[in-house]
Structure 1
Amino acid sequence: MNSPDDFEAELLALGEALDLPAPPPSDVARAVRARLEEAGPVSDAAPSHGPVSDAAPSRGPLGRGWWRPGSERRRVPRWRWITTGVAAVLVALVGLTPQGQAAVAHVLRFAGIEIHIDEPGPLPTGMPRPLPGETRVSLSKARETAGFPIMVPAELGEPRDVRVADGGRVVSLFWPGVRMDAYNGVLEVVWRKDLGEPWPEQVTVGSSPGWWITGPHGLTYIPSSGGETETVERVAGPTLIWQRSVVGYRLEGVADPARAKKIAESLR
């Protein structure tokens, strides 16, 4: 078995070999603190009480089964706890970087949208097609048709155009250069986005979580029928996505994230 000194040398070598972008220090501190709180307190002293009975097996710091019922509790060597702590820090560092997030989970599902984070293929070409069954209607008619509440951002005023698609599944509001889609964001996946760099940025819209996507990317509408032949693909510009109650939103066409958030927060 390696000695603690050998183990320390291996850790130092591992640290020099790692090449991870540095995450914000405050995020690292929060992540490491959370990991340590999950692990619970560690004592160097061996427990003073005797064997654990078969009738009431106990749960040790490593979970049920750390020692066998009827045997003496054993002290865990300090180097094993060091190993656990280092592993927790490495996991936190990887999870806090966009590259690490993409390596661990290539698919993010949020607010009825499935975001695929990878090296995307070529962007869709040609003229974008309308959504299935897309129809131009009045705002009042859209509110009657949709199965969810329709709100309008006060920052933009009344929309110039309103459309309902896929049997009321999606309501799209339009202003010059700006589009906002509203849909039920909890029942199923409605949209798919294929992203490479720059990576999406997590933001807060009012008191709700959201994601900001900076550059152009492939956007695919997944119809309620699920039929591959009915999917609609096009190129989407900068987009803010968020969810409010059961309604998912896509705000597309506003290049400034601060301005996009202000519009999103003005829904009435």
Structure 2
Amino acid sequence: MGSHDELETCLRALGEHLGSPTPLPADVARAVRARLEGAPEAGEVGRPVRPEGAPAPSEAPGGTGGAGEPGERRWRRARRRWIAAGVAVLLAVLVGLTPQGQAAVERVLRFAGIELHIGNPPPLPSGVPGALPGETRVTLAEARDMAPFPFQVPAELGPPVDVRVSEEGRLVSMLWPGGIRLDAFNGVVDVLWRKDLGPPFPKQVTVGESSGWWINAPHGVTYIPRDGVGGKDLARVAGPTLVWQLGPAGYRLEGVADESRAKRIGESLR
């Protein structure tokens, strides 16, 4: 089988596995073919470029390049590498092109003390999560004294009706009526939260002058204790969430379904 036939077979099989659109959009198909064939322009079609250092069958030392000779074996290996590279290029295009492709590869994004596991999440947690380690109800003033980092309160919501600290001030949780919760923590020291996300994928946003992520769909969230023990008992379902960082503090706002309102709340920190 010729190299082009082998390449076409591999690419078709990969496309069927990922559920890619058939046929691929014309601009994507041209870009992939140009990349594989080494054309200087996306619309040009040239001869395949032999990998650097790989001899042609006719250039095999000690023979004419017949099957089984050293030169032919080297050429076959080079051809397989060329095909593998083509598959890798198409995979990269499909991952960025389709939700199926994005879900096929899990990515881990660490941001502001949170690990976002993006790809194919497990089923949403069920049951009632356990209390956070050392969780204690305190006043806002007591929380400021206990937390080893400065944090702010959103003026948009007014004073919280309930304040809790966990692990001796490692996490400060502020709560308001309607299920609104704002967690504040040191976003540069270690990871406190894990979020398992599938489509719709998180959206990068700005909160004032800070960068952040908007997570629109319900998802699993797990608190990660300082010692890393017992995290599975702390998993629960979270609704739409905005996460961002301001100075050393990371913030996680949950319970506000509207992205614009969530950003206004975040921008009102005082």
Q: TM-score, normalised by structure 1?
A: 0.65
Shift of 1:224: 0.7
Shift of 1:239: 1.4
Indicate conservation of the 8 Å contact 1:183/1:248, yes or no: yes
Return 240-249 or 110-119, whichever deviates more.
110-119
Where structure 2 has 5 or more consecutive residues not aligned to the other structure, the ranges are 42-50, 55-80
Corresponding residue for 1:54?
A: none
Counterpart code for 2:256: V
Counterpart code for 1:208: S
**Deviations 1:17-59 (Å, cap 9, x if unpaired)?**
573369xx9xx99xx8xxx9xx9x89xxxxxxxxxxxxxxxxx
**Deviations 1:116-166 (Å, cap 9, x if unpaired)?**
44242352213x433111122222221221121111112212222211111
Select which of 243, 247, 250 maps to 1:248.
250
Indicate conservation of the 8 Å contact 1:202/1:211, yes or no: yes
Select which of 118, 124, 140 maps to 2:126.
124
**Deviations 1:152-191 (Å, cap 9, x if unpaired)?**
1122122222111111100111111200001112222211
Give the aligned length.
Answer: 226
Residue pairs, 1:1-268, within 5 angstroms: 2=2, 19-20=19-20, 88=89, 90-116=91-117, 117-126=119-128, 128-177=129-178, 178-195=180-197, 197-206=198-207, 207-215=210-218, 217-228=219-230, 231-268=233-270
RMSD: 4.2
The DSSP-based 3-state class of the residue aligned with 1:209 is: strand
Indicate conservation of the 8 Å contact 1:223/1:230, yes or no: no
Corresponding residue for 1:75?
A: none
Alpha-carbon distance between aligned partners in 2 of 1:229 and 1:220, rounded to the nearest angstrom: 6
Alpha-carbon distance between aligned partners in 2 of 1:118 and 1:15, rounded to the nearest angstrom: 18
Indicate conservation of the 8 Å contact 1:151/1:267, yes or no: yes
Alpha-carbon distance between aligned partners in 1 of 2:165 and 2:202, rounded to the nearest angstrom: 29
Indicate conservation of the 8 Å contact 1:20/1:94, yes or no: no
Alpha-carbon distance between aligned partners in 1 of 2:232 and 2:122, rounded to the nearest angstrom: 21
Shift of 1:13: 5.8
Identity of aligned residues (%): 54
Shift of 1:2: 4.7
Change (3 A) 1:229 1:188: closer
Alpha-carbon distance between aligned partners in 2 of 1:113 and 1:89, rounded to the nearest angstrom: 31
Counterpart code for 1:129: G
The DSSP-based 3-state class of the residue aligned with 1:162 is: strand
Alpha-carbon distance between aligned partners in 2 of 1:146 and 1:225, rounded to the nearest angstrom: 18
Return 142-151 or 85-94, whichever deviates more.
85-94
The DSSP-based 3-state class of the residue aligned with 2:189 is: coil
Where structure 1 has 5 or more consecutive residues not aligned to the other structure, the ranges are 43-61, 69-79
Change (3 A) 1:172 1:110: same
Indicate conservation of the 8 Å contact 1:154/1:267, yes or no: yes
Change (3 A) 1:155 1:16: same
Alpha-carbon distance between aligned partners in 2 of 1:142 and 1:7, rounded to the nearest angstrom: 64
Alpha-carbon distance between aligned partners in 1 of 2:249 and 2:162, rounded to the nearest angstrom: 20
Corresponding residue for 1:57?
A: none
The DSSP-based 3-state class of the residue aligned with 1:154 is: coil
Alpha-carbon distance between aligned partners in 2 of 1:11 and 1:230, rounded to the nearest angstrom: 40
